[in-house]
Amino acid sequence: MAGLPYIVGNWKMNGTRAMLNEARAIDRAAARFPKVQVAVAPPATLLYRIRDAVELIGVGGQDCRAEDSGAFTGDISAPMLKDAGADFTIVGHSERRTLHSESDADVKAKGEAALSAGLAVILCVGETEAQRDAGDAEAVVAAQIEGSCPAVDGAPEKLSVAYEPVWAIGTGRVPSIEDVAAMHAAIRATLVAIYGEGGADVRILYGGSVKADNAGELLAVPEVGGALVGGASLSAESFLAIVGAAASLGND
């Protein structure tokens, strides 16, 4: 599946049992798009239910604890996600980094725990508006990748990196196509520097106000291997329009 565009819906803190209908609709429609890898990351309360309700799409967690178990009230470990049916987990989302003060070292430990539990990992990185305005965007993102990438054998094979400019998440603002291309090229170079030849195969997703009307243009950018979709993934109709845009690019 590594060569296929990867479209992942991050539902964040949204969804009750009623959302099972959206998951089922996405799953049924995925059969029409065999050249796109589709997945959703629901809240943990829905993970097992959605895994049980779908057949074709991937299902994952939105975060995990670095430790496998212990006195960490409210946290969820990677083995727990795996046991609930998860295929992957997101780590390092800007909302975790900001609202929960997660450091690069924290994110790296979570990614390594997830890989050890048999999960694939989507590692999120991205700069703030102030960092971009200061001309530091590429340096900031490279430093995040260097500090956050899991350092375990076989990591590149199960790792995706999601570039999400913090200032674009949920705002409707999107970087220029030129800026996205430059950042994804810089991310690729950083991954190759870290992992050698394996870094050339890590998928790089774009996230940040991805919608049906801009998905095709964003997904056509070199080194954009998919999308991490927020608000637009809460509706099967809007999410599948993005999946359809990926399919229309004619990837082999």
Annotated catalytic residues are 93, 164
Asked whether 1 and 252 are in contact (CB, 8 A), the reply is: no
Give 141-188 as a 3 state SS string. Answer: HHHHHHHHCCCCCCHHHHEEEEECCHHHCCCCCCCCHHHHHHHHHHHH
Asked whether 8 and 40 are in contact (CB, 8 A), the reply is: yes
137-148 and 177-195 are packed helices; what angle lies between their axes, rounded to 10 degrees? 30
| Cα 124 off chain centre by | 6
Identify the CA nearest to 215 among candidates 62, 7, 51: 7
Q: How many helices, marked H, and strands, marked E, lie in the chain?
A: 10, 8
List of residues 6+ apart from 176 with CB closer than 8 A? none
Q: What is the DSSP letter of 82?
A: H
Please name the amino acid found at residue 133. D
